[in-house]
Amino acid sequence: MQEGFSAQELARYSRHLNLPDFDEAHQKKLKDSSVLIVGVGGLGAPVSLYLTAAGIGTIGIVDFDIVEESNLQRQVLFDTDDLGQLKVEVAERKLKKLNPYVNIKIYPKRLEASNALQILQDYDVVADGTDNFATRYLVNDACVLLGIPNVYASIFRFEGQASVFNFKDDNDHLGPNYRDLFPSPPPPGLVPSCAEGGVLGVLPGILGSIQANEVLKIITGIGTPLSGRLMLMDTFDFNIRFLNVKKRDDNPISGKNPTQTGLINYNEFCGMNIISNVPTMTVTQLDQMVKSGDAFTLIDVREPYEKNIADIGGIMIPKGEIENRLSEIPKQGVTIFYCRSGKRSKSVVKKLINQHHYKNVFNLEGGILAWKEQIDDSLTKY
């Protein structure tokens, strides 16, 4: 247990202490608690800001990424001066300025099956701010194995959802976890990422604030957490619905007869390993082909507005239009697909090979970002 509060701390948290159902003992619970935030992007940014302001004793942040220009539309923890810096290092610096009474621990690495249990075991609650299915299942399973509540949210375009998983109430009743809601992941490429489908900038702020709210309720014991309920929010028409989530007997990690007793290969589980085996072309190879005057077809699968940000030429066929424009994609000669980072174009190449029997298609590895770093640094990085 940490020490009590100084006069400065009491003044800082006075609006909490003025609440009718919140007193110094509740604030002390926050000070004595530890929360791990997985991912400090759109969701993790507001979660980290509000939990730091609220006075959580120790906040851990796991993220391997750097701040990019496209982050600034929604990741309110960062600004233009932070571009190119590790997100966790920027977060640590800014959060300490926000509240010097909070201990910030950073993990500048990717959360993986090999390190998840070791990192999570030191925390009371986990806030999942990830943006991919493999890490969501990893976070869920690690929380189940360690007996830690998992505060979940996800966002897409104008919609978001949130819930509390693996929460044990005062009656020792353990609520459902993520695998009770989603037993298995969707097929790779079925659900677009925010980079592909877009996201309204304020949406992660709304959902991240809800996550922070649930974390505070879990730690202090006030209110009723979202355990056993999934909140679905559509900010376009502003509709909010709640779905009941029940525990499944066939849940592989927490059902009646569990078949999984440890962490697994989550990339393989989510089919991410399958998508990696596609023919690739490096930016250096493409540059050499251009200089040599070699014949090839270059296809840009980004959205039209992205062409105005950075462009290396070629035919524009957005990923969502590929199926309807197959006649424009030659089956003879070399055809190279590219996007911002190579992810969208990789899924396009895989689909053309597996479903439409193309044998001449290549993915530009690293996309526009790699071209900027290795070939033409005058391009805008977004």
pLDDT of residue 221: 95
Q: What is the DSSP string of 265-304?
A: -HHHHTTTTGGG-S-EE-HHHHHHHHHHT---EEEE-S-H
pLDDT of residue 1: 41
Of the candidates 319, 316, 313, 305, the one whose C-alpha atom is nearest the C-alpha of residue 352 is 319
Q: Is 143 labeled as catalytic in the residue annotation?
A: no
HSE, side-chain direction, 13 A CA sphere, residue 252: 14
Out of 45, 145, 194, 226, which one is annotated catalytic?
Answer: 194
Q: Tens place of pLDDT for every residue, the chain, 382 residues?
A: 446 899 999 999 999 999 999 999 999 999 999 999 999 999 999 999 999 999 999 999 999 999 988 899 999 999 999 998 999 999 999 999 999 999 999 999 999 999 999 999 999 999 999 988 899 999 999 999 999 999 999 998 999 999 999 999 989 999 999 999 998 877 665 566 666 667 899 999 999 999 999 999 999 999 999 999 999 999 999 999 999 999 999 999 999 999 898 998 887 777 665 445 789 999 999 999 999 999 999 999 999 999 999 999 999 999 989 999 999 999 999 999 999 999 899 989 999 998 899 999 999 999 999 999 999 999 987 7
Out of 215, 339, 352, 370, which one is annotated catalytic?
Answer: 339
- The residues with which 107 forms a beta bridge, in sequence order, are 62
Q: What is the DSSP string of 317-352?
A: --GGGGGGGGGGS-SSS-EEEE-SSSHHHHHHHHHH
Question: What structural domains and CATH numbers belong to the chain?
Answer: 33-265 (3.40.50.720), 277-374 (3.40.250.10)
Task: Answer for the pair 243, 229: CB distance below 8 angstroms, yes or no.
Answer: yes
Polymer length of the chain: 382
- Sign of the CA dihedral with 90 first, then 45, 178, and 36 last: positive
Q: Read off the amino acid at residue 196.
A: E
Q: What is the DSSP string of 9-40?
A: HHHHTHHHHTSTT--HHHHHHHHT-EEEEE--
Report phi then psi at 227, rounded to 5.
-65, 130
Q: What is the pTM of this model?
A: 0.78
Q: Distance between CA 55 and CA 102 in Å, rounded?
A: 6
pLDDT of residue 273: 56
pLDDT of residue 3: 66
